[in-house]
Each structure stands twice: as structure tokens, then as C-alpha cells.
């Protein structure tokens, strides 16, 4: 609310001259977009579910996994599965809230440069994603220590530090996919459905195509972004795999994002 009040133009008494404020600084935009994520009940519980699912996944591994599987990789995998679904939802709702909650007219009146608003939303979403993954991995590490102590076995740290970084990056790519869908579709329901199609339906269809068509099996890593970036969960990619991630990411992230930004900049906000 303070950002809204400070951004409003003022008129001097006895004068028709309107004094407009200077450009709203990016740090204020970032703060406003961050508060928007937590303002609604759904947004608050979506963020809270990150910590809740991390604790539940850790407890499940400790309770049900055999002693041989009480390793850090098991805890990280159990925590990473729900993160790959929750984080894109956070990004989608961060973008589409302007249209679904009809706040876009107010937002883009106070900040006419819509690109700055999208940049602030993207920065906040990525920051939440990285912070959430750091918290989740820390919970997994604690679970690994406690699980080993309870089982009376050695503590197994079987994920290299470099691979931890690529796991975080993979989840950021998940989040950015949701962000791009939100920018392109500008509808919460449509973007959520689109993400589930991208993450669960399309990979299976392309996998089947690769099994029956040799030419596509060789091409798939270069055009299937989900196929190429999921290698980040398993290992540090080779130079060729990085090239495949960059090429397929350009097709599935950069080009649709450019199209979506063009639509946001040109569309009429009601």
C-alpha cells in the first residue's frame, strides 16, 4: 500500500500542475512483488507447502526406506519430486495474478513500463526457487544425519557439491517453464494445465517417438527441453549436454517468452 501511495501523482493546491513521481526503484518493485506472493491465502500455503513437503518426504525416507537406501541421494530425490511441481506453480501464480485477480490495471497504471514488472516477478520467483531448494536440501541433509544415527550405520554423502548446484539449476528451469507459460497464457488454470502437459504428457509422447524413430532419438536431446535439462538432476552435464540444454531451452523458453512479453506489452489490460 505504501508503494501505491508514494507512486501516485500529486497536484499542488491552487494549481493545475501535476507533479509526477520519479520512476519507482526496482527494489520497491521487488518488495511489492514479493509481498504479492504471500498476500493471498493460496499463495501463503503454496509457499508453506515447500517446507511441509520437504519434512514429510524426509520423514518418509527415514521411516520406510531400507537401511541401504538411507543416503543423501535418496533424501534429495524424495524432496526434489514435489519441488518440481510446487515451484512452477509459484511462478505461474506470480505472473497470472495480475489477470486472474484483476490487479493488472492498477499495477500497470502505477508502473507503465510493463517489462520492469515482469522482470521483478521473474527475479522474485527465481529467488524464492533458489531459497526453497536451499532449505529443502538442508532439510534432506539433516534427515540424512538423523536417519544414519537412528539406523546405526554410516552417514553417506553420495551427491557431489557440483551436482547439488545442477539440481538447484534444474529446479530453476522447472520454475522458469511455469513462468513462461504464465506470461504466454496469462491464465492460472491454462498455465497450470500447460505445465502438466509439458512435464508429464509430452515427455512420454516424445520418448515413444524416439523408440520407434531412430532419426528422432538422435534429435531429441536438441529439441526436447525436458529431456535435456533433467540430466541436471543426475550429473554435471558434459559440454555437449550443456549445448543441448541451451539449444532446446532457446526453443522452449526464450522464443515463447519473447512472444509472451510482446503480448503483455501490447495487450489491453481491463
Helix axes 114-151, 255-266, angle to 10 degrees: 130
b/e 114-144 (16+ beta carbons within 10 angstroms → b): beebbbbbbebbbebbbebbeebbebbbebb
* pTM, entire model: 0.85
Cell readout for 243 is 549445448
Q: Is the pLDDT of residue 171 over 80?
A: yes
User: What letter would DSSP give residue 122?
Assistant: H
Phi first, then psi, for residue 17 (nearest 5°) are: -80, 125
Please give the residue range of the domain that contains residue 168. 2-266
Q: Is the pLDDT of residue 86 over 50?
A: yes
d(C-alpha 16, C-alpha 167), whole Å = 58
Report CA 55 to chain centroid distance, whole Å: 20
Residue pLDDT, tens place only, 233-269: 988 999 999 999 999 999 999 999 999 999 888 877 7
How many domains, the chain?
1
CA proximity to 236, closest of 182, 169, 186, 144: 169
Residue pLDDT, tens place only, 15-74: 444 444 447 888 898 998 888 888 777 778 888 888 888 889 888 888 888 877 788 888
Amino acid at each position: 500500500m505504501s508503494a501505491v501511495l508514494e507512486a501516485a501523482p500529486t497536484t499542488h493546491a491552487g494549481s493545475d500542475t501535476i507533479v509526477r513521481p520519479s520512476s519507482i526503484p526496482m527494489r520497491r518493485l521487488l518488495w511489492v512483488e514479493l509481498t504479492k506472493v504471500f498476500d493471498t491465502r493460496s499463495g501463503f500455503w503454496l509457499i508453506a507447502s515447500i517446507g511441509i513437503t520437504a519434512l514429510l518426504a524426509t520423514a518418509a525416507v527415514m521411516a520406510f526406506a531400507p537401511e541401504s537406501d538411507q543416503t543423501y541421494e535418496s533424501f534429495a530425490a524424495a524432496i526434489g519430486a514435489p519441488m518440481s511441481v510446487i515451484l512452477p506453480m509459484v511462478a505461474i501464480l506470480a505472473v497470472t495474478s495480475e489477470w486472474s485477480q484483476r490487479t493488472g490495471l492498477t499495477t500497470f497504471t502505477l508502473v507503465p513500463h510493463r517489462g520492469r514488472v515482469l522482470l521483478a516477478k521473474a527475479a522474485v520467483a527465481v529467488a524464492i526457487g533458489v531459497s526453497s531448494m536451499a532449505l529443502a536440501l538442508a532439510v534432506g541433509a539433516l534427515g540424512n544425519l538423523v536417519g544414519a544415527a537412528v539406523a546405526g550405520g554410516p552417514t553417506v554423502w553420495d551427491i557431489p557439491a557440483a551436482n547439488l548446484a545442477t539440481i538447484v539449476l534444474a529446479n530453476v528451469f522447472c520454475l522458469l517453464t511455469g513462468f513462461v507459460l504464465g506470461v504466454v497464457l496469462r491464465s492460472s488454470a491454462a498455465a497450470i494445465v500447460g505445465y502438466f502437459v509439458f512435464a508429464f504428457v509430452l515427455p512420454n509422447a516424445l520418448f515413444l517417438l524416439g523408440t520407434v524413430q531412430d532419426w528422432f532419438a538422435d534429435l531429441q536431446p536438441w529439441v526436447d527441453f525436458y529431456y535435456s535439462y533433467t540430466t541436471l538432476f543426475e550429473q554435471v552435464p558434459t559440454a555437449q549436454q550443456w549445448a543441448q540444454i541451451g539449444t532446446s531451452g532457446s526453443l522452449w523458453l526464450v522464443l515463447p517468452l519473447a512472444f509472451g512479453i510482446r503480448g503483455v506489452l501490447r495487450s489491453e489490460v481491463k
